[in-house]
Chains A and B, each alone.
Chain A
Amino acid sequence: MSSAEALPAAEAPVSSAEALPAAVAPATRVPLLTAANAPLTARRYFGNGDPGPIVAALATVPELLEVSLPFLSTVLGASALDARTKEIVIVRTSALQECRYCVDAHSVVALDTGLSVAEVRTLTATGPVSLPDAREAALLAWIDAVAGTIGPVADSVAARLGTTFRDHEIVELTMLIGATMMLNRFCTALSLPTSPEVAARLSEQGLR
């Protein structure tokens, strides 16, 4: 989740939505493996040091890591969709799912991708939010319908998305929302920790 509530008024979210409340994170619930105890098939992910808590947790079941990492890299990594669009999806979905770890980590990625601090605040706010660009506004409505509700998605929301995204992009966006939701629940349930570097960056940007 976001800690945008602590932000100065001058930098309030661009939408009028209320910021998500802060939460105290419980201790991580599973061991996070290191290079020293990484299983044989997982070692390559630890070659450059700490691979992050998702990999470190998944490595306890190396056969899951073997299939999930390529999948997640394909869905979340570079693709036909531009990076800004993908980070909008990931940050907004994570905020709707109240995944503290994912919001923290991807707020930084979003900033690095070129989103502004104000835009990140908008995406992490509670309630309906929007962005000025019509294409991104349609996208946010789609994300909120897919990740913020259960049951069918309204035809009107789908039709609006269809005016600015092609079919294959809609498929990819929807898979990205779904994969992000899976990670959101994984990271939240296991209480994966935000790295000190990410926390420091968020503080520096006034996002904590």
Chain B
Amino acid sequence: MTTIAEAVGAGELPGRVWMYSNYHCNLACSYCLTESGPGVSRRELTGERMIEVARDAAELGFTALGVTGGEPFLLPDMAHTLAELGSILPTIGLTNGTLFTGRRLAAAEEMAGTDVTLQISLDSADPDINDAARGPENFAKVIAAIPALVERGITVRIATTGGEPEPEAMARLCALHRDLGVPDEDHVVRPIINRGRAADAEMGVDVTELDLPAELTVTADGAFWSPFGPTVINGDLDTDLLLTRTTAPLRVPAETLLGLLQGRPAGTDSTLNIR
């Protein structure tokens, strides 16, 4: 058993390894951590590279994977890549859910029955509120995509960003996701983090690494403390949560992360529900 596997087994090191598949996006959300949008540099990890990371992670003893961006499904083979990742370790893929029509929806069927969960962002049951942060017609596209994916046997989780809505708004949102086929246990609510575009707009909660889950995160720019680490502000990558530029072998950043965790004081990641 590797040192990493022992640490994961003992709960000293989170079991999930995240990958930023790309940084470009068809949306430009007001609170986006990575200033993603249609015109930004892609900074992709290829499907082959993500599968290498996954195999390396499994060999080291990590227990789960996550893929985020940018919008991962702008990459043409993402459904296939996620299915492959899911065959290695349980995988969660974050998506804005706006691209699942036509060929992309058909391609998504490859993920049916695999150990892949898609996490789709939906911030409000009120289209105007949701779309104010996420862009025009986002709500309509998302509520069309979710049941289409669920019907095809793909597990969908919903993420609401912005903190706990008012009780009445929360009740309407939960009723909506249940109607869409997503049970309560697959609905997560998380705060806006004051990094990236949110920092520019002075939104969200201030965090340090002590507040963020220490989930090893691999990007084209290096490995980071958390998926909330490789953020971008004014076009520049934040390096404060950079672990190493080396990502292969994965042992290099994993051991750096584990070393930093030794003696780490208790943080607020649980109480802030930053997940």
Contacts and interface: CB of A to CB of B under 8 A. Distances in A.
- The answer to whether A and B interact is yes
B239 A38 contact: yes
A36 B245 CA distance: 18
A195 interface: no
A40 B217 CA distance: 14
B245 A40 contact: no
Interface string A30-53: 000100111111000000000000
Interface in A47-70: 59-63
B256 interface: yes
A37 B240 contact: yes
B209 interface: yes
Contact of B225 (A38, A40, A63): A40
Given A40-B209, A40-B225, A40-B260, A62 B240 contact: no
A41 B245 contact: no
Contacts of B243: 39-41, 62
Interface string B77-100: 000000000000000000000000
Contacts of B46: none
A60 B245 CA distance: 8
Contacts of B239: 33, 37-39, 59-60
How many of chain B's residues touch chain A, expressed as a range? Answer: 10 to 19
Contacts of A41: 243, 256, 259-260
A59 B243 CA distance: 11
Contacts of A60: 239, 245
A36 B239 CA distance: 9
B101 interface: no
B212 to A, nearest CB: 11
Nearest to B209: A40
B150 interface: no
A143 B244 CA distance: 36
B240 A38 contact: yes
Contacts of B131: none
A33 B256 CA distance: 20
A38 to B, nearest CB: 7
A28 to B, nearest CB: 15
Contact of A36 (B225, B240, B252): B240
Interface in B256-275: 256, 259-260
A35 B240 CA distance: 9
Contact of B241 (A33, A36, A40): A40
B67 interface: no
Nearest to A39: B242
Which of A33, A36, A37 is packed against the most chain B CB atoms within 10 Å? Answer: A37
A38 B240 CA distance: 5
B86 to A, nearest CB: 31
Given A38-B239, A39-B243, 11 more contacts: A37-B239, A40-B209, A41-B243, A41-B256, A60-B245, A61-B245, A62-B243, A62-B244, A62-B256, A63-B252, A63-B256
Interface of B: 209, 225, 238-246, 252, 256, 259-260
